[in-house]
């Protein structure tokens, strides 16, 4: 009986390890595909086509739910399911509008992403790289999570400016002053 328990435990560990490594092994092709998609969006000269490609890119690669949860890190666990759903809906709408607005103003910079390494953590994997543009470069960190049998981008940091930390700071300030309902009201009004 003791031996059978050990065998079952070993098989379970092997199954879990092989499942995790299968997901992790698939990250770099996803990053390569993402990089090619970003370059395609950056090259697009027509604003409407650029926005459409960017929307498709976000839908394919971005894990908005994890991103949103991380932005409310200090508060997420204390929220009801209804509050979380309202926040996700309002923040998603506002975030997408902001991204589309920024993409309507095309930059003449040519962008190339160069992956230089990765750091695997329990909850996420950071991929380090450079954004090369006009003869200069900026440090880049793409934070990926493996959830629901797929890799999703959950955070981006360029030249030390972190997207999650930026929103987290803004949201914490609003929640301290106006409460969570105040944050929802502000998101609805924007």
- Express each pLDDT in 112-162 by its tens digit: 666 666 666 667 888 888 877 777 888 888 999 998 888 999 999 988 889
What confidence category does residue 5 fall into, taking pLDDT thresholds of 50, 70 and 90? very low
Tell me the C-alpha to C-alpha distance, in Å, between residue 59 and each of 15, 70, 130, 160, 181: 30, 18, 23, 25, 28
For 44-149, strand residue ranges (E) read 112-120, 125-133, 136-147
* Mean pLDDT, the chain, integer: 78
For the record, the structure tokens of 148 come out as 């629901």
Q: How many domains does the chain contain in total?
A: 1
Please give the residue range of the domain that contains residue 108: 2-189
What is the DSSP-derived secondary structure letter of residue 8? H
Higher pLDDT, 59 or 42: 59
- Express each pLDDT in 63-98 by its tens digit: 999 999 999 998 999 999 999 999 999 999 888 888
3-state SS class at 94:
helix
Tell how far CA 186 is from the center of its chain: 23
- In a 10 Å sphere around its CB, with 0-12 CB exposed, 13-18 middle and 19+ buried, how is residue 41 labelled? buried
CATH number, position 171: 3.10.450.710
Count of positions (residues) in the chain: 190
Report the predicted TM-score, pTM, of the whole model to 2 decimal places. 0.76
The pairing of beta strand 161-162 with beta strand 136-147: unpaired
- Beta-carbon-side half-sphere exposure of residue 104 (alpha carbons within 13 Å): 7
């Amino acid at each position: 009986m003791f031996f059978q328990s050990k065998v079952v435990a070993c098989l379970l560990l092997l199954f879990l390890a092989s499942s995790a490594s299968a997901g992790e092994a698939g990250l770099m092709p996803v990053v390569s595909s993402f990089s090619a998609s970003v370059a395609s969006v950056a090259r697009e000269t027509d604003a409407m086509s650029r926005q459409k490609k960017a929307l498709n890119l976000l839908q394919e690669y971005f894990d908005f739910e994890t991103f949103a949860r991380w932005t409310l890190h200090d508060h997420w666990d204390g929220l009801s399911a209804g509050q979380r759903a309202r926040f996700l809906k309002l923040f998603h709408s506002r975030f997408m509008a902001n991204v589309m607005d920024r993409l309507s103003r095309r930059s003449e910079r040519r962008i190339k992403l160069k992956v230089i390494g990765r750091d695997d953590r329990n909850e996420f994997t950071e991929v380090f790289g450079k954004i090369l543009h006009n003869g200069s470069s900026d440090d880049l960190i793409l934070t990926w999570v493996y959830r629901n049998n797929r890799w999703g981008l959950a955070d981006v940091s360029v030249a030390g400016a972190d997207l999650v930390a930026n929103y987290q700071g803004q949201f914490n300030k609003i929640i301290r002053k106006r409460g969570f309902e105040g944050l929802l009201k502000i998101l609805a009004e924007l």
